[in-house]
């Protein structure tokens, strides 16, 4: 049965990481489709990425979380139940990523000074999605052969590799720390205990169920409410779903 997976961060730092992951993923997908429309969309998302870096201290958050995860994993080194090769791989990777982030300047500066991206950032908020009269430089760039444009887009995305890898490693550890439990909602609601170690709540629900889960997280308790889609009613409905509380 097809399922829909919903992820709910329990703090603002995790929320930043999820948004950044989605933005990187979208840019990567757009780059691979060789049409002027998708290439222009990729440029807009790269501009959005620069703005995201400017509004959020992503670099500091990543360094802190990588160091915290490194400390947690290092404590497991003497456990016989731990795969030492996998543990060493992750801890070494975290050390390299942290060192690279420390040496990095402001993340937005990785892309900000390119003339094409600067032109997009200057005009992208205008209606008409940067038509030729607004940005001749962008128009000229999009007139180049698709493989040339794709190469430039890949080059810009590669400059963010350290940031992308750091986000991916952290979220991978979060997701793998959770164990799914099958639960049953009563009248569209489910409650369970919560603790401060939980960074992410993941909900899996059948795609055919006409409800969208909404999760509220408190200090000691988590509440899940099902919001109906269309004319569906939750008053007499029991819905089976799966929940994972990711402690990392």
Specify the pTM. 0.90
> Has residue 128 got a pLDDT over 70?
no
Query: 5 to each of 115, 207, 230, how far by Cα in Å?
Result: 39, 9, 20
Q: What is the pLDDT of residue 130?
A: 61
Give the residue-averaged pLDDT of 185-209: 91
The continuous run of DSSP H or E covering 202 comes out as strand 198-206
* Average pLDDT of the chain, as a whole number: 89
> Has residue 131 got a pLDDT over 80?
no
Regarding predicted confidence, which is higher, 187 or 173?
Answer: 173
Q: What is the pLDDT of residues 35-94, one digit of tens each?
A: 988 998 999 999 999 999 998 899 999 999 999 999 988 888 778 878 888 888 889 999
Query: 225 to each of 5, 43, 184, 190, 191, how far by Cα in Å?
Result: 15, 38, 12, 7, 9
**Hey, is 104 helix, strand or coil?**
coil
Q: What is the pLDDT of residue 80?
A: 81
Q: What is the pLDDT of residues 157-170, one digit of tens each?
A: 999 999 999 999 99
Integer Cα distance of 211 and 215 in angstroms: 13
Give the residue-averaged pLDDT of 106-127: 82
Integer Cα distance of 222 and 228 in angstroms: 20
Q: What is the pLDDT of residue 139?
A: 85
Integer Cα distance of 95 and 67 in angstroms: 8
Give the residue-averaged pLDDT of 108-133: 77
Q: What is the maximal distance between C-alpha atoms in the chain?
A: 66
Instruction: Name the nearest CA neighbour of 203 among 68, 1, 14, 9.
Output: 9
Domains, the chain, with CATH or none? 12-175 (1.10.3900.10), 178-247 (2.60.440.10)
Give the residue-averaged pLDDT of 220-226: 92
Q: What percent of the chain has pLDDT over 70?
A: 93
């Amino acid at each position: 049965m097809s399922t829909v997976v919903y992820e709910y961060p329990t703090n603002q730092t995790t929320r930043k990481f999820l948004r950044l992951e989605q933005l990187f993923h979208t840019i990567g997908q757009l780059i691979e489709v060789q049409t002027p429309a998708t290439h222009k969309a990729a440029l807009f998302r790269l501009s959005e990425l620069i703005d995201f870096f400017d509004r959020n201290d992503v670099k500091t958050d990543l360094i802190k979380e990588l160091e915290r995860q490194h400390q947690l994993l290092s404590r497991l080194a003497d456990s016989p139940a731990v795969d030492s090769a996998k543990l060493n791989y992750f801890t070494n990777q975290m050390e390299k990523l942290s060192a690279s982030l420390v040496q990095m300047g402001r993340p937005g500066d990785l892309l900000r000074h390119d003339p094409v991206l600067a032109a997009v950032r200057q005009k992208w908020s205008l209606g008409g999605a940067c038509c030729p009269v607004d940005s001749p430089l962008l128009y000229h760039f999009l007139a180049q052969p698709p493989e040339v444009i794709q190469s430039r887009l890949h080059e810009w995305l590669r400059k963010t590799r350290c940031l992308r890898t750091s986000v991916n490693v952290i979220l991978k550890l979060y997701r793998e720390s959770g164990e799914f439990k099958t639960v049953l909602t009563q009248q569209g609601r489910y409650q369970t205990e919560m603790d401060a170690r939980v960074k992410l709540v993941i909900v899996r629900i059948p795609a055919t169920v006409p409800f969208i889960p909404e999760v509220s997280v408190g200090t000691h308790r988590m509440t899940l409410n099902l919001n109906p889609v269309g004319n569906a009613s939750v008053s007499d409905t029991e819905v089976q779903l799966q929940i994972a509380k990711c402690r990392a």
